Structure 1
Amino acid sequence: MSEVSLKFGGKIIEELSQKIPSTLFALNELIKNAYDAFSPDITIKVEASKNTVTISDNGNGMGTDEIESLFHISKSSKKFGHVIEQNGASRITQGSKGLGFLAAFKFGDEVQWTTRKGGMQSTFSLRKSDLVSKQDLAGTSIPIITEAHNGKGTTIIISSSPKDIEVLLDDLSNEKVSEKLAAAIVDENFDIKIEIENQATSYSTRNLKDFKLESDNDQLFYVSFDSEDNNIEFYHKGELLKSISGLPEPMRRTDYSINLELVIFHFERGRNSKSISPLNKRVHDDALYPLVYFNRNIFNNIVIFDPELLRKTSSGSSLPQMIGRVSLRSQSEEVEFNSDRTNFVENSLTKSLIKNLKALNDLIQTNGSELKRELQKENSKKKVPTGKAAPVSKPGDPKKIAASISMNRKMPLKIYTPSDQIELEKYIFQVRNSLGVEVDKNEVEISIDGVPSSNGVLHSIEEPCEKLVGRLQELSATRSLN
């Protein structure tokens, strides 16, 4: 048997756990921990007969050091938004504040952890009511029972009260909540399962319907945007209809990226959105909206990309019947969220991001409305033609090459001769490989004119010239420094 010591006051558990306001938020925190541990899945099981909630994963588990840091509030070795790799797989780090374990106390007073790593199994438990009664927990030790075990992963058993279980079951009985929980992480190699005792219905990421297949007879447009190439593309019945420029150059930034995939519907009289999955509907009503993700994790915000943006000011240009994904990505330490992760903490970066999302929303709805009118005019029956909108890739089609280097626009791109030596890493904001997957810029090998650079430094330039700076991989991406 071993033990770890708590490094915070008892009241902080009560204060911080109270700031975890919703079922969706609390379970999302526990899901993120499993994802960061490279588990292929996580199962959330609610058993009213036992008054327990069990969360289990098959990830890396925790050793002594990880257990020690678990109880050190606000300390974490994780860097939010950074790419981490294990056995050839890569994931984007979700946790960084060291607050994940507090989410378990949202559902009960006593929590037991059983975790397996490196041939050992460790079991320990905490009772919140015992801790909050103490003003100072310094020196308070938590016994850990250890034994040999060849498995891996972590199981959390929360002993709840009938009242807390009733509240949890009431939330999970809403399909719009449960499906969003199952869709909390965008990664085809990660499955979130939700099981409720004595209920035939269960939820799984892999069983969710692809939004591009929803009500396909009523689809008007499939719209895509990637801030890397800054083009908004409108597809109609599987064919590219129009491509327009996205954000004006002064609005573009490299400390975050935006990717949009939207399906816009047109429902003729007598048809409606009832057949569309609860996942794509707001919890408080049945209005359609696209899900927002930040670094692959669901961002519970229904207004940051509001389909009804133009409904009041310019109804003729409004296309409010839309679903899909708004995917945001950033490693910046400026990105912070409010306590229930429904909005950003306001600063220059988040204000810019919100402004750009609004501008893109306006562009898509305004231009889409014009295209809709043109399609209606061309139709012999003067009806708006609809049908499955997203393009379908054919067998044998080459994969889209997406290798790229995004430059840090905060750094000067005009360099005057004779120049000082240039640290090239500072000029590179984001690197994506030929599959479009982001690669940690600190782990790629920089080349200059095709020759590997051992230190990533471009030495003093005496005469005007062009240098091709890239990374060495099966497909190079280059940018010019003049």
Structure 2
Amino acid sequence: MTTEKDSVRFNIESRLLEELGERLVSSPDIALSELIKNAYDADSPDCNLELIENRSLTIKDHGHGMTLSEFKTRWMTIATDNKEVNFFSRNYNRIMTGSKGIGRFAARTLGKKLILTSIAYDESLGVRTKLVATFDWEKLNDTRDLLKLTIPYKLTYPVNDPIGTELCISDINDNIDEGVLKTVRTSVLDISSPYEILRQDVTKRKRKSKKSTDKDPGFTVHISADYSESMGPAEAVLKSYTGRASLVLKNNTLSVNIHFKDNEPITKKITFHNSINRDVYIDIRYFPRRPGAFANLEVNGNTARSWATDHRGIAVFDKGFRINPYGLHNDDWLQLDRDQAHSHRHWRSRLSEKYIPIPKQDQSIESRNPMVNIITNFQVVGAVFIESPNTGSKANKDTGLIPSMDREGYIKNNSFKDLLHLARFAVEYLTSEDKRIQLEEKITKGKEEVLAVKKEIRTAIHNIEDSPTLNKNDKVRIVEQFTHLAKRLESTEEYDQRAREGMEHMGFLGILAGFMTHEHQSILWELNKTLDRLESISTKSNKIAENIPSIKNSISKIEGYIDYTNLFIKNIATPIEKNLKIKPRIRHVLRTFKHFTEERDIETNVECGSSELMPPIPIPAFEGIVLNLYSNAIKATINKVGNKDPQILIIAWSDSKNHYFTVSDNGIGIPESLERRIWDPLYTTTSAENSPLGSGMGLGLPLVKRVVESFKGKISYSKATGQFVTCFKVTFPRK
């Protein structure tokens, strides 16, 4: 028996270079962008691209160049980790943009031959050197063993040539033309482009390096004069937006600014977990296809519309360089066009679901659901600006924005999903606000038209009465017809007003549904637990009987809530009834929470005369107000640590002018610094941590206030007297 032991090496064929080039650099514009990034990382103040008769291409910079040692260890090393270890550039501490040695593969995909010339100061020699290396890619492909490839070079020193690097690519590929250079022109942010205007507007500053030892002169890309173009109407058009969304994410704080022309801007600050780990700036301008959208501009309206169409979409710029394919004409990375085509009815961004929720009653109504008319790529010009960190092979794939292998977009990790949510939130907020404004304008226009019709009717009646050609009987008959028409018009107005108020009353269903959903989770869990035990012990244990009362009690609770909800919905459409007693209505709401208050020893007292009447408002509106204030009081008493005697007091009374009722509790109270904010939408003082009723969404009190005021009532908060801490008082006029 013979046993041999040895080791073998991988054989790597030289065509691997060609294969890597095609996979890592998918198009010529991306290849050129990668070479421009190398110039930026070399601290060059500029990069010059020149295409000569579509036969050769020169890329030249005035950066620090490469010494022979750097050429061998960096340029000639595949997948070098230099830019993953050194995050900032040598002289100006710019954030590095290139990665993984893509530059040489970019040069390989552009043409058949490359002459690299680099002048640098070599500290080991103490002089300025000139390195010239020649790459003949076709000959290199003929060499089968990659490890045997050699690149001829010539090193000259000392020299007095200006420091920098020049790449001369000859026998360039047929797909490199002026169209490619124009694409590159808009792919590099610091070339004059509409995206530079957006970036300066949203960041409020010029581009600066992260930190610097010397003053950074900035970075400019120059392309052959034949391929340069003026900014055209960009600045004028971008200023003429109908709506604009500006979002700035710094650390974990998201600042939101939504502005529509002739409307007050909406500003918010939101806490957002920033897994992207960089500042993010988003600026999106909205140009709806409506008459007058491009009126009163310095440029022709058709020219402006054509420009907006040519620059449509939402681009992404990472450290000043555009990331394809986001925002290109055939791209729909935010699924805006898709959602409109399929009439999608729900927000996609989790931020939208939380901060601009679509009411359930609006989701099925096309005229009121903003998602049905989601803003599309054809209606926006916008960009997302980020500075993502370099990430090496050991990086967490769920953290940070990581370019895909072919440089086409990012890997779809958690950071990219966060970026999607942010950009989509900006568009959805614009859509929501646009729908709100359109509905308000429609109502205003309708009122104006009604007033105009009324005026015309009055004029017609006046003219008929003054007409000398009509006899008395004809005048009476025609005037009666016009008068009847005017009354029908007034009736229609009143119906429309009541319908809108009814929509607001329906919002109380959301409060009730939120409470019931939380409670049902607890009840169903109890039922499932009991059933599991029944199945496990079957008929072998007497403990089955002990569970029967619990099951019956839980089912009874569910039935009670369903009955209450059905009655609530049924009463939504009922007219206002007069002379209803108020105490039974209050007791009806209190019974809904009876098991909560009894289980937690919360004492609730109602002080109200038996003959006291309910305010002249719909029953569901009144019960919704009581329900919200009472449930808030329960949460407050439960959340107060060490509250041994939780109490709630409801008082109702009236005088010759008004109906009054108050809800007081001895719970945790509201800090004085927060009292003004309790009426703000989406602001809540409650927490789900200790409360079985869950935390609020910050919609209850603002909604209560709106409904109270819609019936000419008032609601106020004050510190209670005696043993109570908080008191809400509601006042309604008797008539």
- Would you say same fold, with TM above 0.5? yes
Matches within 5 A, 1:392-403: none
Counterpart for residue 191 of structure 1 = 220
Q: Does 2:293 align with 1:288?
A: no
**Contact 1:214–1:277, Cα closer than 8 Å, also in 2:** no
Q: What's the TM-score once normalised by structure 2's chain length?
A: 0.43
Matches within 5 A, 1:228-247: 228=250, 229-236=253-260, 241-246=265-270
- C-alpha displacement of 1:137: 3.2
Partners of 1:65 and 1:280 lie apart in 2 by 49
Counterpart for residue 333 of structure 2 = 304
Matches within 5 A, 1:266-285: 266-269=288-291, 275=303
Counterpart for residue 202 of structure 1 = 228
Counterpart for residue 170 of structure 2 = 159
* The 10-residue stretch of structure 1 (338-347 or 22-31) with the greater mean CA deviation from structure 2: 338-347
Q: Which amino acid aligns with 2:144?
A: Q
Partners of 2:447 and 2:220 lie apart in 1 by 46
Q: Does 2:90 align with 1:32?
A: no
- C-alpha displacement of 1:90: 4.0
Matches within 5 A, 1:30-429: 30-48=35-53, 51-68=55-72, 69-79=74-84, 82-84=87-89, 86=91, 89-118=92-121, 119-147=128-156, 148-161=159-172, 164=173, 166-169=174-177, 171-172=179-180, 175=182, 177-183=183-189, 187=207, 189-195=218-224, 199=226, 201-202=227-228, 208=231, 213-216=235-238, 218-228=240-250, 229-236=253-260, 241-246=265-270, 249=272, 252-253=274-275, 255-269=277-291, 275=303, 286=310, 288-300=312-324, 301-302=326-327, 303-305=332-334, 308=337, 310-312=339-341, 313=344, 314-318=371-375, 320=377, 321-331=379-389, 332=391, 333=395, 334=397, 335-371=401-437, 374=440
In structure 2, relative to structure 1, the CA distance for the partners of 1:319 and 1:108 (3 Å cut) is closer
In structure 2, relative to structure 1, the CA distance for the partners of 1:181 and 1:293 (3 Å cut) is closer
**Contact 2:46–2:219, Cα closer than 8 Å, also in 1:** yes
Q: Does 2:14 align with 1:10?
A: yes
- C-alpha displacement of 1:157: 0.5
Q: Residue by residue, what CA displacement relative to the aligned partner does 1:106-156 show, whole Å, maximum 9, x if unpaired?
A: 221110011111122111111111111222232543232222134111111
- C-alpha displacement of 1:260: 0.6
- C-alpha displacement of 1:359: 3.6
In structure 2, relative to structure 1, the CA distance for the partners of 1:129 and 1:60 (3 Å cut) is same
Q: Residue by residue, what CA displacement relative to the aligned partner does 1:243-283 show, whole Å, maximum 9, x if unpaired?
A: 1355x64x5436344211222223433777863599976xx
Partners of 1:8 and 1:60 lie apart in 2 by 33
Secondary structure of the residue aligned to 1:141 is coil
Report which of the two structures shows the higher radius of gyration computed on alpha carbons. 2
Secondary structure of the residue aligned to 1:92 is coil
**Contact 2:48–2:222, Cα closer than 8 Å, also in 1:** yes
**Contact 1:318–1:365, Cα closer than 8 Å, also in 2:** yes
Secondary structure of the residue aligned to 1:160 is strand
Number of aligned residue pairs: give it.
355
Structure 2: gaps spanning 5 or more residues: 1-10, 122-127, 197-206, 209-217, 295-300, 345-370, 449-735
- C-alpha displacement of 1:342: 2.5
Q: Which amino acid aligns with 1:106?
A: T
**Which structure's residues are more often helix, by fraction?**
2
Aligned-residue CA RMSD (Å)? 3.6
Structure 1: gaps spanning 5 or more residues: 1-6, 383-482
In structure 2, relative to structure 1, the CA distance for the partners of 1:381 and 1:35 (3 Å cut) is farther
Q: Which amino acid aligns with 1:225?
A: L
In structure 2, relative to structure 1, the CA distance for the partners of 1:316 and 1:352 (3 Å cut) is closer
Q: Which amino acid aligns with 1:102?
A: F
**Contact 2:276–2:418, Cα closer than 8 Å, also in 1:** no
**Contact 2:117–2:132, Cα closer than 8 Å, also in 1:** yes
- C-alpha displacement of 1:158: 0.5
**Contact 1:218–1:266, Cα closer than 8 Å, also in 2:** no
Secondary structure of the residue aligned to 2:94 is strand
Percent pairwise identity: 19
